[in-house]
């Protein structure tokens, strides 16, 4: 916002719907008021049960990467990347465990805390505070933001976050707490939402620090006269499309929040890289390296969510055109015959699961971001919420993690679906009439969960 005062933080959500562009579709496809009221009441009850489960279960968990986060799995995965045949034999027993014995994660690694999950929980409780007005929800959000301040990556002057485990990739091992541009923007968004709710100056300072990190410690790589990709961490090369989309969103937001034109210029180059990388059919590959040319559900959501937020904040015509093509591709190719999210359109390998919570959560988040400009998302959001609330809620209040080809993976994983689904449903609830959500409860009177 051009007339923002220096140092003023302006929420991305605050600018939603101000572009004035006519929607793609003439029909909003909204459910009937009674149906919508019943669904929001059901979501409120489920979220209340979930917060009680979270208090009981604690804020650490296993992860879908637990099989490979320890020394045994890590060595097997590294061997897989270096030596195809031998490596395949090494990881095959682990993949079988993932497919048929998901609970065996506990033998490969221990429960840990995930910054990206803490960010989603903070945002979710802030949405619940917005929906219910209950101070307990704000207290819970503040608790998770305080935990994020503790878990920042050590060894860096500015605030940034990564994974709390060694991540074995085809390019080598990203050591524990290596800052990632795919994690840090979620924390930025959580602190931004928290600052808007409380005006706490310390959180504004954290926002400024995060923006400085994203600008100066993440590297740029020119891809065309108008575009640059960015590094995934401070130590690697560029080419990953969702990484550039995340950074573009963060720096566009920070440029407006702190009246910093340098941030805007860098963001524009990263945005142009994402726009230039879009395929003619409207899809995006994971990367432009000619190797990781797969199209999957949640990475597509990551890219489109970032573009949607940038479009809302700036009215950029290129974003709108890319989103129009992306929406058409997404809705036609990344849903199965039941109209529910499927993992891949163009898959790099066979998967051990049929459907996963993470895809459903990101579908809801994306639909809520885009439905005002692209009303075709309205029915999709409702359909997926109905599926999750009907079939994915466990008796203890947590969510199933994956629907396997045979059975379910019921291991609760904060980073891999639980926190994202909590945030997406709380986001949905925050947009419903207050009278429908007055029963939302943060659980445990807002006090921190046990670890």
Q: Quick count: other Cβ atoms within 10 Å of Cβ 208?
A: 18
Residue given tokens 């605050």 in the structure block = 14
Indicate if the pLDDT at residue 161 is higher than 70. yes
Structure tokens at 190: 């959580």
Please choose, from the candidates 105, 34, 83, 177, the residue with its C-alpha nearest in 3D space to the C-alpha of residue 410. 105
Residue given tokens 């400024």 in the structure block = 208
Indicate if the pLDDT at residue 8 is higher than 50. no
Indicate if the pLDDT at residue 16 is higher than 50. no
Please choose, from the candidates 246, 122, 253, 129, the residue with its C-alpha nearest in 3D space to the C-alpha of residue 180. 246
Q: Output 5 or 58, whichever has higher pLDDT.
A: 58
Distances, alpha carbon 297 to alpha carbons 140, 318, 328, in Å: 30, 22, 14
Indicate if the pLDDT at residue 41 is higher than 70. yes
Calpha distance 255→208 (Å, rounded): 10
Cα distance from N-terminal residue to C-terminal residue, the chain: 41
**What's the mean pLDDT when you consider all of the chain?**
90
Indicate if the pLDDT at residue 165 is higher than 70. yes
pLDDT band, residue 171 (cuts 50/70/90): confident
In this prediction, residue 24 carries a pLDDT of 41
Calpha distance 235→239 (Å, rounded): 13
Structure tokens at 424: 């997406």
Calpha distance 252→258 (Å, rounded): 10
In this prediction, residue 32 carries a pLDDT of 72
């Amino acid at each position: 916002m051009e007339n923002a005062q220096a140092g003023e933080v302006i929420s991305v959500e605050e600018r939603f719907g101000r572009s004035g562009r006519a929607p793609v579709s003439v029909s909003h496809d909204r459910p009937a008021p009674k149906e919508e009221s019943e669904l929001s009441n059901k979501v409120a009850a489920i979220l209340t049960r979930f917060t009680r489960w979270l208090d009981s279960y604690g804020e650490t968990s296993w992860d879908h990467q637990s099989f490979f986060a320890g020394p045994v799995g890590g060595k097997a995965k590294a061997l897989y990347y270096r030596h195809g045949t031998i490596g395949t034999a090494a990881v095959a027993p682990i993949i079988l465990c993932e497919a048929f014995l998901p609970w065996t994660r506990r033998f490969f690694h221990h429960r840990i805390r995930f910054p990206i999950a803490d960010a989603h929980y903070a945002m979710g409780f802030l949405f619940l505070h917005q929906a219910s007005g209950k101070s307990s929800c704000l207290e819970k959000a503040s608790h998770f933001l305080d935990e994020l301040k503790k878990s920042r990556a050590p060894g860096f002057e500015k605030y940034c976050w990564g994974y709390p485990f060694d991540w074995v990739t085809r390019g080598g091992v990203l050591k524990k707490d290596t800052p990632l541009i795919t994690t840090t923007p979620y924390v930025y968004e959580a602190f931004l939402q928290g600052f808007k709710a409380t005006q706490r100056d310390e959180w504004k300072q954290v926002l400024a620090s995060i923006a400085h990190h994203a600008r100066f410690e993440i590297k740029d790589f020119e891809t065309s006269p108008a575009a640059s990709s960015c590094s995934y961490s401070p130590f690697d090369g560029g080419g990953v499309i969702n990484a550039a989309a995340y950074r573009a969103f963060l720096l566009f937001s920070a440029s407006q929040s702190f009246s910093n034109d340098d941030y805007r210029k860098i963001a524009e180059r990263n945005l142009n890289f994402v726009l230039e990388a879009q395929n003619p059919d409207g899809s995006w590959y994971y990367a432009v390296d000619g190797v990781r040319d797969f199209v999957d559900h949640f990475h597509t959501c990551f890219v489109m969510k970032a573009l949607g937020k940038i479009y809302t904040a700036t009215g950029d015509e290129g974003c709108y055109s890319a989103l129009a093509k992306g929406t058409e591709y997404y809705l036609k190719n990344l849903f199965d015959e039941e109209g529910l999210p499927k993992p891949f359109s163009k898959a790099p390998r066979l998967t051990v699961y049929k459907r996963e919570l993470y895809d459903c959560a990101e579908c809801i988040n994306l639909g809520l971001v885009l439905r005002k400009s692209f009303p075709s998302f309205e029915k999709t959001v409702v359909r997926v919420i109905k599926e999750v609330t009907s079939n994915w809620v466990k008796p203890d209040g947590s969510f199933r993690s994956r629907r396997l080809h045979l059975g379910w993976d019921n291991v609760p994983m904060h980073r891999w679906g639980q926190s994202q689904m909590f945030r997406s449903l709380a986001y949905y609830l925050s947009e419903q009439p207050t009278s429908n959500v007055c029963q939302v409860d943060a659980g445990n009177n807002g006090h921190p969960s046990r670890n």
